[in-house]
Structure 1
Amino acid sequence: MSSKVHDTKKLTLVALILMIFTSVFGFNNIPRSFYLMGYSAIPWYILSGVLFFIPYAFMMAEYGAAFKNETGGIYSWMEKSVGPKYAFITTFMWYASYIIWMVNMSSGIWVIVSTAIFGSDLTSKLSLFGLNSTQTMGILGILLMVVFTFVASKGLNKITKVTSLGGIAVTLLNLVLLVGALLVFVLNGFHLAQPIESVSKGFFSSPNPDYLTTISTISFMVFAIFAYGGIEVVGGLVDQTENPEKTFPKGVTIAAIVITVGYAIGIFLVGMFTNWDFIVAKGNVNIANFSYVTMENLGYQLGLAFGATTKTAVLIGKIMSRYMGVSMVLCLSGAFFTLLYSPLKQLIEGTPTEMWPKKLTILDEDGMPKNAMWLQCAIVVVFIFAVSFGGEGAAKFFMKLTLMTNVAMTIPYLLIAYAFPHFKRKDEIEKPFVVYKSQGAIKVATFFTVLMVGFANIATIVEPATRGHISDTMWMIAGPVVFSLLALGIYDRYEKKHLKKLKEHLV
């Protein structure tokens, strides 16, 4: 890696936790889970947290502490634990999925901006320079990508400011949910809006008739597991953390426990002021807008609980819905900044310099791979432009790409977990932070993590086929295969071109 001498500001424990929080915790997952499963979502979140997220987070903490001086994140972890080819396939597949995420989110975030400003999604009516709404959204998405890349390329301190703001915003949103729900509960005489008739019916049976079958319940478990994804994103920031062998594992551990408990408590809080049948029966309520409907209902119920008139209660509800929109914009912006930088950093800085054009490997005085970031921006912009202006054919092509990444983006979780026993067996790797001290603990943690992710992926692949959408299933299977073959092609090219030269030089 070619770089200039630079001095970057280190991440503190609080900044690290906020970065993990914005990368992993999705406030939307709380109301959406209640919409799908009611209180019965809670056991699945606890199960997924205990069997997947917390063990996986501890693995990340051990990897991060052991490779605290490495700049390449998960590539460095996998390369030192298993081998370079395994590491490159894992990292490349993981990185490719975030490119698609950025294409989707750069336009999608404007829906939330519209809700925050106007109280509803008006993007379908947007028109700039005579363009239709799809093309206008594309232009706005391109603008967002360019501006965010420009700001992020100025240094890690700019990124941490945005991610910290996003973390604070979503933390305050959770506090509003906590305090607001408890106030409604107390002022209404300790009466739950969503009653619990019995433990079995309340916590193990969904009020949603679409989520009562075995297949639908399994599909929700997939939703719960995916709600915990993203902690490996901060793996590339170990080298930029203060006192990393202590701060990084502590930050990961605290964040993992808070996120798991936060999801479970949050779902229960929604039931304190939201009656599922009443809200859904109002009509025009779906999983996409339920988060805003929920927060609007919280404001409305708070107003009524304090004795306000119906008109005033409705106004409080509208204010709460818009506050939700503003908070989500800040939170998603924080996640966007992290994902603009961290996955790319791990791909470029971790892999051999010879694998990429020399310009991409150069770091500026702020320690940022600016050239690589702008190339990434260009790739995302091309995708956005093609999808927005390419007509129905381009939109269908991108939908296929999205399906390909649905499974491909979680395969790296499985590969990272599978490599963990190999990492533990390498005595030459110094391990300053150890959670799993026995072979039994290592095997159990690896088994359950791999099992949960593997099972979730199989369920995700099979589910469309059960509804007759065989092509969706085929595209999901194609994703990991295509990305793996592409990664192998890049790696083989590097191997033939540079390792061959090295051997000739040695001879």
Structure 2
Amino acid sequence: MNKNNKKLTLIPLSLMVVTSVFMFPNVPRAFLLMGYAAIPWYILAAITYLIPFAFMVGEYGAAFKNEKGGIYSWLERIIGPKYAFISIFMWYVGWLVWIILTCNSIWVHFSTILFGTDTTSKWSLLRIGSTQTLGLLSIMFAILLTFIATKGLDKVSKITSVGGISVAFINIVAYIGAIVVFILKHGKIAQPINAQAFLNSPNPSYTSAISIISFISFAILAYAGIEVVAGVTDDTENSEKTFPKGVLMGSIFIGIGYSLGIFACGIFTNWQNVLSGKDVNMVNVTIIMMNNLGYQIGQGLSLSQAACVLVGNWVARLVALSMFLTYIGALISYSYSPLKQLIEGTPKKLWPGKLSEIKDGIPKNAMWIQCIFIVFFILILSLGGQGASKFFDKLVLMTNVATTLPYIFMSSAFAKFKNNTSIEKPFVIYKSYGSALLWTIIVTFTVVIANVTVVVKPALKGDIASSIWMIAGPVIFSIIAIAMYARYEKMSKTTIDNSVQK
């Protein structure tokens, strides 16, 4: 009876979906890329990806609730260990790229805490350029991060919890701030709104058909994290009815939240006046827009120019501090947790030497090897000779491609999972194989098209190097995964042959 009382009901489940997926920085990024035109794409991505994929992982989670290893365990049972290993390896690579990106972008928030604005494009150490300076700082930070993470998470748990509270603070400031500006400006909206605004982006980089379609990749990334609900299907009260309703309610709330957030950005931000500058990118856009929010509040209160700037800088400082604390905790956590799942979920013989050793609950040896990879890629990217803005954008694009590939693997395997009668399925949403196959095709097609357009877009504009960078990482790591598994198979065969001979 006590166990039943602790099971998730509809509202708590819906809230879990929202907190697992909704991230405010995705709102200003979407407004930067597409303006109000981002709203229809967020809604489309929710229908063709977020909701059906959440139902898929719900069935996966219920079927494999006793398995350890996450994605690897799911796919290993469905389509075999080799494909499962390549999939989880790519999933891990997505997190590795995210760490590289965040090690670099965190300096934007640090700069804002100190100066009230992003000054990273002007930073220079030892007379080297801004990109190289940020690369050097990021390398030192990555080494320090690994050192702290190998000591355990107990020392930073308080910072992580403070960061979580701070994220809620950002949302409150943005939405209430937009309402305040709307009232103070007597209903005047900074970014004009009409029917065309929902179809055409003010961003000149997102006017062609291929670039507009590529935006769905960003929408999918904004919905990343929905897979975490897979672990609670068994803990949901009357799961057959409650789980789909909870996921649907949470997904609708997320879609509406993102849409209203993008609209709120337009209340206090004029795209041409605030976001058209060459130093604005997907990393610092949140800080720039929140700075502008403070400035607009100051104007609405009829403060002096200097006072408006001061209010904007302090709002930006508070937001930067909250994001800085959040990312510190997240970086320490994600520098070990994806790697731990990769190593613990897969056969130990896959990992050479002492890489598979877990000490104090942490794969310490593997973490230092990971650190070497992080430093290597930061070094390569920072020596590319491009400006800080393009450097940031390239990393974000790489993250989108890398982190969405595992979703292709999971969604494409779903139809086969449904057709496998040897797998017990205690929780079913897709009642027939036909419906499962249909949504397998829709979800997989959505993510594939998103990735293809993201990769092709730069090449069509003559920037072939960016397209190569976006596919180089996944291709290289796929080859590494295949080689590692081939080595494991060879070792296993040798062990079996020796046993037979004895």
Offset of 1:194 from its aligned partner?
2.7
The whole-number CA distance in structure 2 between the counterparts of 1:397 and 1:295 is 23
Question: Does residue 64 of the first structure (1) align with residue 38 of the second (2)?
Answer: no
Displacement of 1:120 after TM fit?
Answer: 2.8
- Displacement, 1:376? 1.8
- Match for 2:413 among 419, 422, 431? 419
Alignment pair present for 1:364 and 2:359: yes
Deviations 1:329-381 (A, max 9, x none): 2333343234212321221011111111363323334x322332233223323
Name the SS of the counterpart of 1:505 in structure 2.
Answer: helix
In structure 2, the residue matched to 1:302 is 297
The reply on whether 1:141 has 2:138 as its aligned counterpart is: yes
Quick one: structure 1 residues 470 and 363, their matched pair in 2 at CA, closer, same or farther if it must change by over 3 Å? closer
C-alpha distance in structure 2 between counterparts of 1:123 and 1:317, whole Å: 18
Offset of residue 403 of structure 1: 7.8
Distance 1:310 1:384, change over 3 A: closer
Q: Distance in 2 between matches of 1:255 and 1:143?
A: 40
Does residue 317 (structure 1) correspond to residue 319 (structure 2)? The answer is no
With normalisation by structure 2, the TM-score equals 0.82
Spell out the pairing of 1:34-49 with structure 2 (5 A cutoff): 34-49=31-46
Query: Does the CA contact (< 8 Å) of 2:397 and 2:454 recur in 1?
Result: no
Asked if 1:381 corresponds to 2:358, the answer is no
- Which has the larger displacement, 67-76 or 145-154? 145-154
What is aligned with 1:7? none
The answer for the alignment partner of 1:351 in structure 2 is: 346
Sequence identity, in percent?
A: 49
State the distance in 1 between where 2:158 and 2:431 align: 37
The residue aligned with 1:326 is 321
1:9-55 superposed Cα distances (whole Å, 9 cap, x missing partner): xxx99999999878854433312322332212111111112211222
Q: Supply the distance in 2 between the matched residues of 1:400 and 1:306 (Cα, whole angstroms).
A: 39
Task: For residue 452 of structure 1, report the CA deviation from its aligned partner.
Answer: 0.7
Match for 1:207 among 202, 213, 228? Answer: 202
The CA distance in 2 between the partners of 1:478 and 1:449, in whole Å, is 24
State the Cα distance separating 1:440 from its structure 2 match: 3.7
CA distance, structure 2, for counterparts of residue 350 and residue 17 of structure 1: 29
d(CA) in 1 for partners of 2:320, 2:88? 33
Look up the equivalent residue of 2:414 and give its one-letter code.
F
How far is 1:463 from its partner?
1.3
Q: State the distance in 1 between where 2:321 and 2:196 align.
A: 36
Q: Which runs of 5+ in 2 are unaligned?
A: 1-7
Q: TM-score, structure 1 length as denominator?
A: 0.81
Between 69-78 and 298-307, report the one with greater CA deviation. Answer: 298-307
Do the aligned partners of residues 36 and 99 (structure 1) sit closer, same or farther apart at CA in structure 2, a change above 3 Å counting?
Answer: closer
Contact residue 89 and residue 484 of structure 1 kept, 8 A: yes
| Structure 1 Cα separation of the partners of residues 140 and 248 of structure 2 | 37
Inter-partner Cα distance in structure 1 for 2:155 and 2:20: 16
Bigger mean CA offset, 399-408 vs 492-501: 399-408
Matched, 1:444 2:464: no
Cα deviation 1:270-293 (Å, max 9, x = unaligned): 122223344357x56633444333
2:451 alignment partner AA: N
With over 3 angstroms needed to count, the CA separation of the structure-2 counterparts of 1:183 and 1:392, relative to structure 1, is closer
Matching residue of 2:3? none
Residue matched to 2:270:
275
Question: 1:82-101 residue pairs with structure 2 within 5 A?
Answer: 82-101=79-98
Change (3 A) 1:117 1:436: farther
Match of 2:178 among 177, 181, 184: 181
Please say if residues 40 and 204 of structure 1, whose CA atoms lie closer than 8 Å, have aligned partners that are also in contact: yes
- Indicate yes or no: 2:214 matched with 1:216: no
482-491 vs 446-455, which moves further: 482-491
- Runs of 5+ unmatched residues, structure 1: 1-11
Any conservation in 2 of the 1:299–1:313 contact (CA below 8 Å)?
Answer: yes
Other-structure match for 1:494? 488
Matches for 1:469-484 after TM superposition, within 5 Å = 469-474=463-468, 476-484=470-478
